[in-house]
Amino acid sequence: MNVQSPGWGELCNVKTGLVSVKIHATMVTVTSHATYHHGDLPNALRAAAAEVIDDVGLGAFSLREVARRAGVSHAAPAHHFGDTKGLVTSLAIEGFETLTSLMLAAQAGIDSAEERLAAIGRVYVEFGGENPGHAAVMFRSDLVRDELPELRAAGVAAFEVLERALKRLRDDHGATFDLGDATKLCWATMQGLVQLRGEMEAVDELRGVQSAGQIDVLDRLMVLLLNGLWPRA
């Protein structure tokens, strides 16, 4: 069945409808020498951990620095999370859960399957750019407790949001593409834009090409992806 693939204008007009995708905007603000209610401390420690990763990288990450930035005792992170891997795993779970919520919110109220997919892609890329500390650990099986059921469930839930959007697209157009392969292709494209942003900008600079914004690049890549998922008229 031949159908018309979405045009450039259709995809570029998609709006996520989100005010912000920064996790810490809805969390405890991290300030030195602060006093936290016991129930807020895990959130504060995760926010501090994300800040440390963003500032100094994973190589220089330490629980002591997390505690210092959160304004709590050096023993607090280990008390709540056990060790470095426990805290990083909790950060990754929070990242996946937040990403899932954002992707669901981004597509809410959108009828067009193509526009729903584009909205998911945009918010994914925005999430990665706004939350580099979380994005840095969500796919690092060497740094997290990869076998933890909570982490696996959080990752699968995020993947399935994208998979359902692609199933809707396939059903709407009578397409025959493999759903699993298409989901992995779209996920890899979105994650690649997040993870390789600096490298792609460096390549453009070396070639004397002005770098486009990530969302603009995503819009163009989404057109290429959609054109390849089913025959054009």
Provide the pLDDT for residue 198. 81
CB of 233 closer than 8 Å to CB of 227: no
User: What distance in Å separates the CA atoms of residue 43 and residue 49, rounded to the nearest whole number?
Assistant: 10
Question: Measured in Å, how far apart are the chain's first and last C-alpha atoms?
Answer: 9
Provide the pLDDT for residue 54. 95
Provide the pLDDT for residue 42. 93
Query: What DSSP character marks residue 163?
Result: H
What is the sign of the dihedral through the CA atoms of 204, 205, 207 and 211?
A: positive
Q: Show the tokens assigned to 50.
A: 């994300």
Q: What separation in angstroms does the CA of 156 have from each of 46, 49, 88, 167?
A: 21, 24, 18, 16
Place of tokens 């969500």: 138
Provide the pLDDT for residue 58. 92
CATH 1.10.357.10 fits 8-229, yes or no: yes
For the chain, residues with pLDDT lower than 70 are 1-39, 231-233
Provide the pLDDT for residue 231. 63
Burial call 209-228: b when 16+ CB within 10 Å, e when fewer: eeeeebbebbbebbbebbee
Place of tokens 């005792």: 73
Provide the pLDDT for residue 225. 83
Q: Show the tokens assigned to 229.
A: 């998922």
Place of tokens 């979405």: 6
Output the pTM of the full model: 0.81
The predicted-structure confidence for 76-119, as pLDDT tens digits, reads as follows 999 999 999 999 999 999 999 999 999 999 999 999 999 999 99
Cα 49 to chain centroid, rounded: 17
User: What distance in Å separates the CA atoms of residue 97 and residue 99, rounded to the nearest whole number?
Assistant: 5
